[in-house]
Amino acid sequence: MITSKQRARLRSMSNRIKPTVNIGKEGINESVISSINAALEARELIKVNVLDNSPAASKSAAREVAAAAKAEVVQVIGNKIVLYRRSSQKQVIEL
C-alpha cells in the first residue's frame, strides 16, 4: 500500500511517460496481463491506454488489471491508467 505522498510523487513522474500497453477490443486477456507484468518488472511505473473499442470501462479495467498484475493503481484519468509495482530485480524508483 502506498501513501498519499508517494502516490502524488508517482503521479508527477507519470506525466512524462507514454502509454506502454493498450487494452483494445479483445479486452483484458492473458497477453495483456503478461505485457503489463513485463513492463512493470522493467520500469515499475507504467501507463496503460484503454481504447474506445474496449469492452471494459477505464475504472473497472484498472481494478481488474491491478489485481491480476498485483500492482497499485496510482491514477485513472479518462482512458489512461497509471500502475506501479516495485520490481523484484531492478528497483528504479525510490519512494
- Considering only CA atoms, which of 64, 60, 57 is closest in space to residue 79? 57
Q: Are 27 and 55 in contact (CB under 8 A)?
A: yes
Cell of 10: 508517482
* pLDDT tens-digit series, residues 27-71: 999 999 999 999 999 999 999 999 999 888 999 999 999 999 999
> Whole-structure pTM over 0.85, yes or no?
yes
- Over the stretch 10-23, which tens digit does the pLDDT of each residue have? 999 999 999 999 99
**In angstroms, how far is the first alpha carbon of the chain from the final one?**
12
